[in-house]
């Protein structure tokens, strides 16, 4: 045993917590090491003096005095506590805000005509106008974004016009619903519906 190992054992011995082989090893070390023996005697005398002191009476108001001297506790921020208690809801709100911001950005940035459908060979595009000619049939859904849609023929699905206009001739026949989306919020709902339909498919 070296002096570094002996020091904590000396404290344990003085506290009455050292027994068995460790106590024996400490005694052997103290016999062999004059420095540790001197330290042991000094600590033993200090402990004896502390034990001989009369007990100190602590006033009943000491706790109140100490507490009054401490700085006041900061009030907890209710919204940060709520976030800590509901992490899943917080993440969902942040995700929704980011998605909303990105969709709003897409709504404002995209100015090009977009035509989407399964059967577009029956459609004529002139500038920003999409025409379904009389006597022609578009099978399936038809989506026109940022343009004008003129339907003179038939559409055997739903028609959706986003940020544009739709004109149905008297000869037009649409078997599904006609949906017009003019606001960014409506467009976001439309996109979310598309995502849900893709997941469900």
The answer as to whether 42 is a domain residue is yes
The answer as to whether 170 is a domain residue is yes
Greater confidence (94 vs 148) lies with 148
What pLDDT band is residue 189 in, cutting at 50, 70 and 90? Answer: low
Radius of gyration of the chain (CA): 42
Q: How many domains does the chain have?
A: 2
The answer as to whether 47 is a domain residue is yes
Domain encompassing residue 188: 112-200
The answer as to whether 127 is a domain residue is yes
The answer as to whether 81 is a domain residue is no
Which among 51-65, 103-117, 162-176 has the top mean pLDDT? 162-176
The answer as to whether 181 is a domain residue is yes
- For 34: left if phi > 0, alpha if psi spans -120 to 50, otherwise beta; the answer is alpha
Q: Report the predicted TM-score, pTM, of the whole model to 2 decimal places.
A: 0.41
């Amino acid at each position: 045993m070296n002096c570094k190992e002996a020091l904590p054992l000396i404290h344990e011995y003085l506290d009455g917590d050292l027994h068995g082989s460790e106590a024996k090893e400490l005694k052997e070390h103290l016999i062999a090491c004059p420095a540790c023996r001197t330290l042991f005697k000094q600590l033993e005398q200090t402990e004896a003096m502390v034990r001989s002191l009369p007990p100190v009476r602590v006033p009943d108001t000491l706790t109140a005095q100490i507490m009054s001297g401490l700085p006041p506790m900061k009030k907890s921020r209710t919204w940060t506590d709520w976030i800590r208690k509901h992490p899943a809801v917080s993440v969902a709100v942040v995700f929704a805000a980011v998605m909303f911001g990105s969709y709003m950005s897409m709504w404002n940035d995209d100015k090009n005509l977009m035509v989407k459908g399964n059967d577009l060979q029956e459609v004529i595009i002139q500038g920003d106008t999409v025409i379904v000619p009389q006597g022609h049939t578009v099978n399936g859904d038809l989506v026109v974004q940022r343009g004008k849609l003129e339907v003179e023929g038939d559409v055997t699905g739903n028609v959706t016009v986003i940020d544009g206009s739709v004109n149905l001739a008297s000869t037009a026949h649409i078997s599904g619903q006609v949906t017009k989306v003019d606001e960014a919020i409506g467009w976001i709902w439309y996109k979310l519906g598309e995502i849900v339909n893709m997941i469900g498919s």
